């Protein structure tokens, strides 16, 4: 297991370095991340490379047997470069230059920037390829942070036109596939196609309104692909110049502009930056973080690292609340429980200058380690005893949830009903499952579904006949599926496919949606397995045909029309849910479904605020039990042994 911290030696006098390393060693750290923003330190003037300082700190780490994640510094293009080639700056949707003074000020499609990227990455690769202390490389830093995936410059527009030409071959084909007949938007050449940007139909709620939805989706895909290409270019340079160790990048859970399912394929493993700074926040919020961990594990279906783990109050212009030190321990275990086998805290010591001088780390500004240091040191010692569990066992879930970025983008552009939020639908269901002590993978249709007892397909609007076929095979052989509203109705061009809803999934669900009601902010009564509850955002009005009805509306002109149905298909079952609701109600619905299909019970009875995560490897079975309450609890677990577990406030234990 890798356990360590993000360190910025360039911010501190050299005579402090040895003391920092001594404290890190004492805290049981075995890895640090270096240099992701240090371009001007490495190349202060064009072609003048200075690696002496970095060599020196890396050799000090080597002496202490602390390994290094070395980063390419391309998130911070130097001023000398920007002054020489100002066309590297990204352009916003209004045509404004997003200028100098922070970070990430570059366009992914700028050829000059690509050349300079190659140069610095090559110089670093050549210098460090044989350095045994450097065990991993991180590319750049948080691609997409500060809303930087989508650029509107001329280079991007030209590259987008090429992308469309490759895809559609003729402009007539593009016009037809995307439906450009609407509002006379027919293009006469690929050179005449635009990047969807500011028009006379302005933005509302931060979203563009009026462009062709298909062109918008292609632009989202193109922009995401541009990041893939830029990352691939860096990887190629590293590999061609002798770097053999694993390469990763630090993802972010709430960035939706990069198709991480695709992007993750570029790397040897995924890492992400996790900031669950919720102090005494509701259990649901911290369970959303568990959902995010599961998403990250799902991108490659393997263990991941936390490249930046919150280690104190954060803030740029103002600060957030101070976490209870016990929460730092809890959040770290939460990550590990969900599959992290590398943890690096952000950051070692808060800076005395710059934008992030309020962003706290393990030490305080004065360089002294107090409560946060002590608890993290304790966690390091505990992980030594848990090493074989952490490294060897894998998360095993009986339920999985399918999510796609085409749907992230499509729903984001035409969100059906006020308040519709794709992420919220998925996270509510995932949180509901956590509260039922049921573990859930998050994945896409490219992975094997046969190992799951239940596959949940929420709001899977952009879909294909192949998706439905895959699901049909899975269900026929005894699998179970839960499909929800706004599924199956759109094709890959983001056009409504004209099939009776739920389109591709209609036969499986065994129902017809004969009408619907975009509820917006209104809520309406429902009853059945949901108890007396409320539907939110959307209501599909369903002709259930031969299906069993599990819940129905108790309101409006469609009172008594079903909202949740159950259909037998082969050896399996397909459930359909026509409305959104709250976490509690999802919990009731999922309880009925998982009881029907007999998922394994990890605990005797759920305890509010307590999460359980199951892992196994061969005969070795482990259960992580995490208490997010600020008070003591007891819980009766059934796996891997029957036992009553007592946990203090924010306490954690691993039973194996």
Asked if 195 interacts with Zn ion (CB under 5 A), we say no
Q: Which does 142 bind (CB under 5 to 8 A by kind): ligand GLA, Zn ion, none?
A: ligand GLA
Residues between 247 and 276 with contacts to ligand GLA, criterion CB under 6 A: 273
Q: Is the CB of 179 or the CB of 320 nearer to ligand GLA?
A: 320
Nearest CA to 304 out of 651, 1, 607 is that of 1
Residues 6+ apart with CB under 8 A from 267: 246, 247, 248, 249, 300
Longest dimension (CA), the chain: 77
Asked if 7 interacts with ligand GLA (CB under 6 A), we say no
Asked if 223 interacts with Zn ion (CB under 5 A), we say no
Q: Is the CB of 222 or the CB of 331 nearer to ligand GLA?
A: 331
DSSP labels, 73-126 = -TTS--HHHHHH-GGGS-B-TTS-B--SSSS----TT-HHHHHHHHHHHHHHHH
**Using the 8-state DSSP alphabet, how is residue 190 labeled?**
G
Q: Which does 308 bind (CB under 5 to 8 A by kind): Zn ion, ligand GLA, none?
A: ligand GLA
Q: What are the counts of helices (DSSP H) followed by strands (DSSP E) for the chain? A: 17, 25
The verdict on whether 157 is a catalytic residue reads no
Q: Which stretch binds Zn ion (CB under 5 A): 60-68, 100-108, 247-255, 590-598?
A: 100-108
Q: Is the CB of 110 or the CB of 261 nearer to Zn ion?
A: 110
Nearest CA to 526 out of 565, 499, 491 is that of 565
Asked if 140 interacts with ligand GLA (CB under 6 A), we say no
DSSP labels, 32-47 = EEE-TT-HHHH-SBTT
To ligand GLA, the closest distance from the beta carbon of 615 in angstroms equals: 27
To Zn ion, the closest distance from the beta carbon of 90 in angstroms equals: 6
Residues between 336 and 355 with contacts to ligand GLA, criterion CB under 6 A: 346
Q: Is the CB of 102 or the CB of 170 nearer to ligand GLA?
A: 102
Closest residue by beta carbon to ligand GLA: 273
Asked if 153 interacts with Zn ion (CB under 5 A), we say yes
Asked if 10 interacts with ligand GLA (CB under 6 A), we say no
* CB-CB contact of 247 with 232 (8 Å): no
* CB-CB contact of 189 with 127 (8 Å): no
Given 141, 332, 334, 612, the residue binding ligand GLA (CB under 6 A): 141
Work out the burial of residue 232: count CB atoms within 10 Å of its CB; fewer than 13 is exposed, 13-18 middle, 19 or more buried: middle
Asked if 72 interacts with ligand GLA (CB under 6 A), we say no
To Zn ion, the closest distance from the beta carbon of 337 in angstroms equals: 40
Q: Is the CB of 222 or the CB of 628 nearer to Zn ion?
A: 222
Q: Is the CB of 94 or the CB of 353 nearer to Zn ion?
A: 94
Q: Which does 356 bind (CB under 5 to 8 A by kind): ligand GLA, Zn ion, none?
A: ligand GLA
Residue that is written with structure tokens 């009172």 in the block: 559
Q: Which does 20 bind (CB under 5 to 8 A by kind): ligand GLA, Zn ion, none?
A: none
Q: Which does 383 bind (CB under 5 to 8 A by kind): ligand GLA, Zn ion, none?
A: none
Nearest CA to 421 out of 430, 411, 413, 431 is that of 411
To ligand GLA, the closest distance from the beta carbon of 17 in angstroms equals: 20
Given 93, 356, 364, 584, the residue binding ligand GLA (CB under 6 A): 356
Q: Which does 257 bind (CB under 5 to 8 A by kind): Zn ion, ligand GLA, none?
A: none
Give how far Cα 267 sits from Cα of 206, 236, 245, 247, 271, Å: 32, 12, 11, 6, 10
Pair of tokens at residue 70: 């070395």
To Zn ion, the closest distance from the beta carbon of 109 in angstroms equals: 5
* CB-CB contact of 190 with 164 (8 Å): yes
Given 142, 341, 406, 491, the residue binding ligand GLA (CB under 6 A): 142
Give how far Cα 284 sits from Cα of 254, 276, 627, 632, Å: 16, 12, 13, 19
d(CA 536, CA 533): 10
Residues between 272 and 291 with contacts to Zn ion, criterion CB under 5 A: none
Q: Is the CB of 103 or the CB of 447 nearer to ligand GLA?
A: 103
> Which of 36, 43, 157, 308 is flagged as catalytic?
308
Pair of tokens at residue 347: 């950051």
To ligand GLA, the closest distance from the beta carbon of 308 in angstroms equals: 5
* CB-CB contact of 593 with 452 (8 Å): no
Pair of tokens at residue 168: 């559609």
To ligand GLA, the closest distance from the beta carbon of 106 in angstroms equals: 16
Residues between 271 and 310 with contacts to ligand GLA, criterion CB under 6 A: 273, 308
Asked if 359 interacts with ligand GLA (CB under 6 A), we say yes
The verdict on whether 469 is a catalytic residue reads no
Q: Is the CB of 2 or the CB of 453 nearer to ligand GLA?
A: 2
> Which of 142, 157, 288, 398 is flagged as catalytic?
142
The CA angle 418-507-483, to the nearest 5 degrees, is 40
Q: Is the CB of 254 or the CB of 521 nearer to ligand GLA?
A: 254
Question: Count of residues binding Zn ion (CB under 5 A)?
Answer: 6
Work out the burial of residue 85: count CB atoms within 10 Å of its CB; fewer than 13 is exposed, 13-18 middle, 19 or more buried: middle
* Strands 134-138 and 67-71, bridge-based pairing: parallel
d(CA 27, CA 118): 37
Work out the burial of residue 640: count CB atoms within 10 Å of its CB; fewer than 13 is exposed, 13-18 middle, 19 or more buried: middle
Q: Which does 69 bind (CB under 5 to 8 A by kind): Zn ion, ligand GLA, none?
A: none
Q: Is the CB of 259 or the CB of 308 nearer to ligand GLA?
A: 308
Residue that is written with structure tokens 């740029």 in the block: 316
Pair of tokens at residue 335: 């990550």
Residues 6+ apart with CB under 8 A from 252: 142, 144, 145, 272, 273
Q: Which stretch binds Zn ion (CB under 5 A): 6-14, 19-27, 107-115, 482-490?
A: 107-115
Question: Count of residues binding ligand GLA (CB under 6 A)?
Answer: 8
Q: Which does 554 bind (CB under 5 to 8 A by kind): Zn ion, ligand GLA, none?
A: none
Residues that bind ligand GLA (CB under 6 A): 141-142, 273, 308, 314, 346, 356, 359
Residues that bind Zn ion (CB under 5 A): 107, 109, 151, 153, 155-156
The catalytic residues are: 142, 308
């Amino acid at each position: 297991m890798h356990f360590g911290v993000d360190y910025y030696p360039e911010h501190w006098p050299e005579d402090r370095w040895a003391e920092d390393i001594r404290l890190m060693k004492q805290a049981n750290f075995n890895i640090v991340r270096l240099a992701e923003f240090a371009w001007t330190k490495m190349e202060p003037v064009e072609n003048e490379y200075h690696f002496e300082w970095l060599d020196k700190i890396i050799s000090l780490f080597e002496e202490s047997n602390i390994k290094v994640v070395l980063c390419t510094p391309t998130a911070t293009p130097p001023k000398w470069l920007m002054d020489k080639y100002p066309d590297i700056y990204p352009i916003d949707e209004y045509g404004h230059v997003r200028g100098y003074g922070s970070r990430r000020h570059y366009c992914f499609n700028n050829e000059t920037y690509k050349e300079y990227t190659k140069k610095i990455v090559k110089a670093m690769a050549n210098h460090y390829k044989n350095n045994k202390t450097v065990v991993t490389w991180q590319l750049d830093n948080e691609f997409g942070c500060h809303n930087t995936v989508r650029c509107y410059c001329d280079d991007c527009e030209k590259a987008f036109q090429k992308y469309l030409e490759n895809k559609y071959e003729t402009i007539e084909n593009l016009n037809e596939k995307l439906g450009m007949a609407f509002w006379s938007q027919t293009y006469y050449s690929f050179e005449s196609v635009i990047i969807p940007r500011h028009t006379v139909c302005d933005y509302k709620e931060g979203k563009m309104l009026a462009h062709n939805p298909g062109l918008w989706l292609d632009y989202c895909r193109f922009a995401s692909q541009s990041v893939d290409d830029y990352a691939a270019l860096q990887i190629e340079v590293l590999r061609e110049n002798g770097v053999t160790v694993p390469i990763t990048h630090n993802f972010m859970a709430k960035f939706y502009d990069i198709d991480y399912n695709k992007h993750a394929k570029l790397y040897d493993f995924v890492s992400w930056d996790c900031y669950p700074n919720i102090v005494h926040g509701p259990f649901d919020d911290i369970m959303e973080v568990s959902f995010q961990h599961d998403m990250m594990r799902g991108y490659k279906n393997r263990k991941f690292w936390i490249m930046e783990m919150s280690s104190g109050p954060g803030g740029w212009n103002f600060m957030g609340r101070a976490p209870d030190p016990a929460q730092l321990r809890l959040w770290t275990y939460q990550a590990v429980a969900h599959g992290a086998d590398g943890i690096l805290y952000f950051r070692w010591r808060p800076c005395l200058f710059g934008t992030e001088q309020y962003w706290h780390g393990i030490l305080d500004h004065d360089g002294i380690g107090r409560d946060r240091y002590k608890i993290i040191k304790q966690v390091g010692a505990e992980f030594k005893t848990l090493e074989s569990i952490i490294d060897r066992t894998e998360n095993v879930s009986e339920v999985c949830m399918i999510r796609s970025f085409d749907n992230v983008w499509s729903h984001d552009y035409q969100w059906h009903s006020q308040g519709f939020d794709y992420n919220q639908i998925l996270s509510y269901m995932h949180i509901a499952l956590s509260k039922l002590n049921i573990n859930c993978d998050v994945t896409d249709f490219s992975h094997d579904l046969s190992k799951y007892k239940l596959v949940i397909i929420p709001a899977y609007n952009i879909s294909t006949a192949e998706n439905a076929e895959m699901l049909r095979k899975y269900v026929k052989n005894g699998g179970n599926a839960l499909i929800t509203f706004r599924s199956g109705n759109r094709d890959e061009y983001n056009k409504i496919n004209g099939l009776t809803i739920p389109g591709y999934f209609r036969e499986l669900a065994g129902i017809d949606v004969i009408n619907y009601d975009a509820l917006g902010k209104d809520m309406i009564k429902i009853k059945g397995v949901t108890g007396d509850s409320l539907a939110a955002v959307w209501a599909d009005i369903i002709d259930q045909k031969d299906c069993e009805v599990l819940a129905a509306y108790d309101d409006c002109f469609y009172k008594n029309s079903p909202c949740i149905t159950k259909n037998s298909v082969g050896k399996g079952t397909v459930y359909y849910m026509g409305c959104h609701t709250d976490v509690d109600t999802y919990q009731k619905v999922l309880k009925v479904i998982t009881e029907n299909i007999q998922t394994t019970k990890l605990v005797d009875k759920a305890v509010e605020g307590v999460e359980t995560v199951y892992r196994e490897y061969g005969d070795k079975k482990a259960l992580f039990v995490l208490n997010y309450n600020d008070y003591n609890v007891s819980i009766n677990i059934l796996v891997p042994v029957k036992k009553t577990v007592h946990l203090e406030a924010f306490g954690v234990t691993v039973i194996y």
